[in-house]
Amino acid sequence: MLKVKQIDKKIGYYLAGFADGEGSFMIVVRKRDDYKANWKISLCFNVSQKESYILSQFKKHLRCGTLRKRLDGVNYFEVNNFNAIWENVIPFFNEFSFLSQNKKYQFSKFKKAAKIIHQKQHLTEDGFKKIISIRNKMNRGGKRKNLK
């Protein structure tokens, strides 16, 4: 688990501020015939930027995630491993919170979904519906289709 109290406050708040503007918290739902419920639910946190140095600081201080470069030259840092999200990303942003109300809202919904997944409730029909309801309230204006 990430030792958040050991992170320098200046870098912690800098990264949180950067993520406030450039980061995304997502609940990804994919149709999967090889899953018992026919759906795979996963969480993802990412930040994209042309300059890779700042993104490398996310990897260094969150102690998880991957750095990639898209074909258009944009770099991105992403965490989609649930344990890393639960043990590193969520504690980090609980400590170094956001200023914008929108990002605070998105993060609160992300945490609710993470709690449902952590408790394995997403494997039940009721839990799946809760996740979908949370997801449908997040990041309005995106390209995805709302599930019911």
Mean pLDDT of 24-43: 83
What mean pLDDT is reported for the chain? 91
Say which range, 49-58, 59-68, 71-80, 134-143, has the weakest mean pLDDT: 134-143
Indicate whether 38 pLDDT > 90. Answer: no
The two three-digit tokens of residue 27, written as one number:
């609940």
Mean pLDDT of 65-91: 97
Signed CA dihedral, 105, 113, 75, 16: sign only: positive
Domain 4-137 architecture: Roll (3.10)
Q: How many residues does the chain have?
A: 148
Residue among 77, 82, 81, 53 nearest 66 (CA): 77
Domain positions in the chain: 4-137
CA 26 to chain CA centroid, Å, is 5
Give me the residue label for tokens 């999967």.
Answer: 32
CA 33 vs CA 13, 36, 63, 91: distances in Å:
42, 8, 33, 33
pLDDT tier at 40, thresholds 50, 70, 90: confident
DSSP code, position 85:
I
Q: What is the pLDDT of residue 116?
A: 97
Mean pLDDT of 34-50: 86
Indicate whether 113 pLDDT > 70. Answer: yes
- What pLDDT digit, counting tens, does each position of 82-110 carry? 999 999 999 999 999 999 999 999 999 99
* Segment 60-65 long-range contacts (CB within 8 Å, at least 24 positions apart): 61/7, 61/11, 61/12, 61/15, 61/92, 62/2, 62/88, 62/89, 62/92, 63/2, 63/88, 64/2, 64/88, 64/89
Q: What is the pLDDT of residue 97?
A: 94
